[in-house]
Homo-oligomer: A and B are copies of this chain.
Amino acid sequence: MNTDELVELGQQLRVDSVRAAAEAGSGHPTSSMSAADLMAVLLAHHFRYDFEDPEHPGNDRFVLSKGHASPLLYSAYKAAGAIDDAELLTFRKLGSRLEGHPTPQRLPWVETATGSLGQGLPIGVGIALAGKRLDHADYRVWVLCGDSELAEGSIWEAAEHAGYEHLDNLTVILDVNRLGQRGPTRHGHDLDAYARRFRAFDWHTVEIDGHDVDAVDRAYGEAVSTKGQPTAIIARTLKGKGVKATEDREGLHGKPVKDADEAIEELGGVRGIRVHVHPPDSTRSLHAVGNGSLELPRWDKGEQVATRDAYGQALAALGTARGDVVALDGEVGDSTRSEFFAKEHPDRYFECYIAEQQMVAAAVGMARRGWVPYASTFAAFLTRAYDFVRMASISGSGINLNGSHAGVSIGQDGPSQMGLEDLAMLRAVHGSTVLYPCDANQTAGLVAEMADLDGIRYLRTSRGESRVIYGPEEEFPVGGSKVLRSSGADRLTIVAAGVTLHEALAAADALGRDGVAVRVVDLYSVKPVDRDTLRRAAEETGCLLTVEDHREEGGLGDAVLDAFLDGRPVPRLVRLAVRTMPGSASPAEQLHAAGIDAASIAASARLLVEEAVVP
């Protein structure tokens, strides 16, 4: 396309953005209008993509980090012939694929759900990393960012990651339109403020007028030809560009243009330009190949092994069997034991340093390219990345998360290092799986099994050693449980997992010596929960005692209740959990102080079988 044609295409994208938002009665046309020329030139001249084959391994990848500019994205899809005008006008309506913020669950051309700002670039970095280091393909990743979202620290985690990894297949396009939602941004139109920051993180930068299509064209060309560095194109634009009533004006964020018909006329009316988007050349295939034969590590009953050790060893074995498994860590691989994977599969191991948001984002990007990522850090520090996990679930992303050092039982390091909210946090994520093994063989089995589940999968591991209680042949289906003590005389059921499972067994033995028979259930699958076993236990023993090394809200105790929330009779219940703020102390002292050790369990059980209330 020549200059005039590119200008016309930009105007068409503006017109269609205005029309879509007007029809919806909501949306972000002004945020779309600022970036319309940037999008027009990208689509017409630089983006290599086959809209008929979004899975094509050679396709470039486009990420709309400023997800609220979805009218622009959908207008571009229309210009590319991927959707028609009638569909464009379904924007934001019930059942439409064209949501307020784009998601890959609805549209095959969307790489990741956006709408929580500052996430598109980090995930784009993950895709670009996959391109360089895993796919070894020559696709490019293009990320369109707003200027407001550059205040998010996650942007600078991503900038650091991309600069350090020399991701010259990555281009970020900054739509510096000077206006955020509420008003002016910190740096307004000071392009150099942004350029300085990106250069400091070892990026190549180009500053342009984002409405000069020739300058935009040259900048994209410069980005493509820049080697050894990612490029940031920093474009001065005007929000609401092209319509006097909206151009560079405050107070119009997230609002349809008031007089849409007039605005469309001012923009030159509706056009029907159809862009031929260049298809990709490359057809390189994906994925290293594993040996196909999974040989998980095995431990004998009675051995003392930390579940984090079992995790690391199982992950390494899984990586040997499957070429599509990759691992990431937040600079604590010697603690989470993901280092075992790193040693055996260095090409598929990604050190993300202490940047948990970027670690999860990179995992999401890699999963989008068909890889099966396992991202590990302390359970406590996954809280840092909660928004990324939440958004990953909206994307339908299949990622595995491992949180080690769960609970007070880590001991002396104190509460800052104790994962005590992780079960609550991850259970609340839509479609998630939450697993909490108590021994090494169980851990290994679950590590392998989680690889092929849908959605977000979380495995909680422990710092200290615990006794191996299951043989290596035992199976642990997700959604199942293990009944470890059971008799016809059981007067209550203790439900536990992980560290507290061993305390529960000790309590059951002590109670048994006193003539009180109790059932013990190992609830290794916290979500989904084994409703049948819990219901049977309730019917047969009348009451349930749950014990967890976690806050009382949202964890194992609440998970057990999922089995009884449909109106059926509910058993008597007691929940033991961490109710105080721990300090430094030994693991055993911690469990005792929190009231979740064997002695505390036995004491509560005695009260329960006497039909008393537990204080």
A152 within 8 A of B: yes
B residues less than 8 Å from A565 (CB atoms)? 557, 573-575
- Contact status A93-B584, CB under 8 Å: yes
Known contacts A94-B584, A148-B331, A416-B391; is A567 also within 8 Å of B607 by CB?
yes
Residue of B nearest to A157 (CB): B153
Interface 0/1 of A428-444, CB less than 8 Å to B: 11110000000000000
Residues of B within 8 A of A413 (CB): 26, 100-101, 115
Contact with B along A596-615 (1 / 0, CB 8 A): 00000000000110011111
Chain B contacts for A393, CB-based, 8 A: 581
Q: Is A29's beta carbon under 8 Å from chain B?
A: no
Pairs across A and B, CB under 8 Å, 26 listed: A24-B412, A94-B583, A94-B584, A95-B583, A96-B583, A100-B417, A114-B416, A153-B154, A153-B357, A156-B156, A180-B354, A383-B387, A386-B386, A394-B415, A424-B425, A424-B554, A428-B551, A429-B551, A558-B558, A561-B573, A567-B607, A567-B608, A567-B612, A568-B613, A570-B570, A570-B572
**Apart from A94-B586, A98-B584, 10 more pairs, CB < 8 Å:** A24-B412, A26-B413, A92-B584, A156-B157, A200-B200, A381-B387, A384-B387, A390-B421, A424-B424, A424-B553
Q: Which of B67, B181, B431, B543 contacts A334 (CB 8 A)?
A: B181
Find residues 28-52 in chain A having any chain B CB closer than 8 Å to their own CB.
Answer: none
Residues of A237-255 at the interface with B, using a CB-CB cut-off of 8 Å, are none
Shortest distance between the CB of A295 and any CB in chain B (Å):
27
Q: Mark A149-185, 1 if CB is under 8 A from B, else 0.
A: 1011111110010001000000000000000111001
Is A427 an interface residue, CB under 8 A from the partner? yes
Query: Which residue of chain B has its CB nearest to the CB of A148?
Result: B354
Q: A425–B421 contact, CB under 8 A?
A: yes
CA distance A448 to B412 in the complex (A): 39
Tell me, yes or no, whether A116 is within 8 Å of chain B by CB: yes
State which of B151, B334, B414, B428 has its C-beta within 8 Å of the C-beta of A157. Answer: B151
Q: CB-CB < 8 A to A380: which residues of B?
A: 116, 387, 390
Q: Is A355 an interface residue (CB 8 A)?
A: yes
Residues 544-588 of A, flagged 1 when their CB comes within 8 A of B and 0 if not, give 000000011111011101101111111111110000110111100
A186 at the interface (CB under 8 A from B): yes
Contact B430 A94 (CB under 8 A): no
Verify if A476 is at the interface (C-beta below 8 Å from B): no
Minimum distance in angstroms from A387 CB to a CB of chain B: 4
Q: Is A284 an interface residue (CB 8 A)?
A: no
A372 at the interface (CB under 8 A from B): no
Q: Is A136 an interface residue (CB 8 A)?
A: no
- Closest Cβ neighbor of A115 among chain B residues: B416
Q: Does A333 contact B (CB under 8 A)?
A: yes
Q: What chain B residues lie within 8 Å of A103 (beta carbons)?
A: 414-416
| Most chain B beta-carbon neighbours within 10 Å: one of A151, A555, A585 | A151
Partner of A416 from the list B113, B431, B581, B584 (CB cut-off 8 Å) is: B113
Residue in contact with A553 in the complex, picked from B95, B105, B358, B558, CB distance below 8 Å: B558
Contact A358 B390 (CB under 8 A): no
Query: Does A332 have its Cβ within 8 Å of any Cβ on chain B?
Result: yes
The answer, yes or no, to whether A217 is at the interface (CB within 8 Å) is no
Residues of B with C-beta under 8 A to A345: none
The residue of chain B having its C-beta at the shortest distance from the C-beta of A26 within the complex is: B412
A339 sits at the interface (CB 8 A): yes
A584 to B96, Cβ gap below 8 A? yes
With known contacts A427-B424, A554-B553, A151–B615 Cβ distance under 8 A: no
Question: Cα distance A593–B93 when bound, in Å?
Answer: 13
- B contact residues around A430 at 8 Å (CB): 420, 551, 580-581
- Which of A105, A155, A180, A583 gathers the greatest number of chain B CB atoms within 10 Å? A583
A96 to chain B, nearest CB (A): 7
Task: Report whether B414 and A581 are in contact in the complex, using a CB–CB cutoff of 8 Å.
Answer: no
Contact indicator B554/A101 (Cβ below 8 Å): no
Q: Does A197 contact B (CB under 8 A)?
A: yes
Contact A414 B164 (CB under 8 A): no
Once the chains are docked, how many angstroms separate the CA of A155 from the CA of B160?
Answer: 12
**Which interface residue of A152, A154, A185, A335 has the most chain B CB atoms within 10 A?**
A152
Return chain B residues, CB-CB under 8 Å to A197.
197, 200-201
In the complex, A335 Cα to B354 Cα: how many Å? 33
Q: Which of A15-33 contact B (CB under 8 A)?
A: 24, 26-27
Confirm or deny: A99 has a beta carbon within 8 angstroms of a beta carbon on chain B: yes
Complex CA distance for A95 and B201, rounded to whole angstroms: 44
Residues of B within 8 A of A561 (CB): 558, 561, 573
A32 to chain B, nearest CB (A): 15
Provide the residues of chain B in CB contact with A558, threshold 8 Å: 553-554, 558, 561
Measured CA separation A143–B58 after assembly (Å): 47
Chain B residues within 8 Å of A424, by CB: 424-425, 427-428, 553-554
Q: Which residues of B contact A552 (CB under 8 A)?
A: 562
Q: CB-defined interface of A179-213 with B at 8 Å, one 1/0 digit per residue?
A: 01110011000000000110111000000000000
Asked if A117 CB lies within 8 Å of chain B CBs, one says yes
Q: How far is the CA of A154 from the CA of B148 in the complex (A)?
A: 16
Inter-chain CA distance A615–B568, complex, in Å, is: 11
User: With a CB–CB cut-off of 8 A, which chain B residues contact A99?
Assistant: 414, 583-584
Closest Cβ of chain B to A608, distance in Å, is 5
Complex partner residue of A428 from B156, B180, B421, CB under 8 angstroms? B421
- Against B, the Cβ 8 Å flags (1 = close, 0 = not) of A288-314 are 000000000000000000000000000
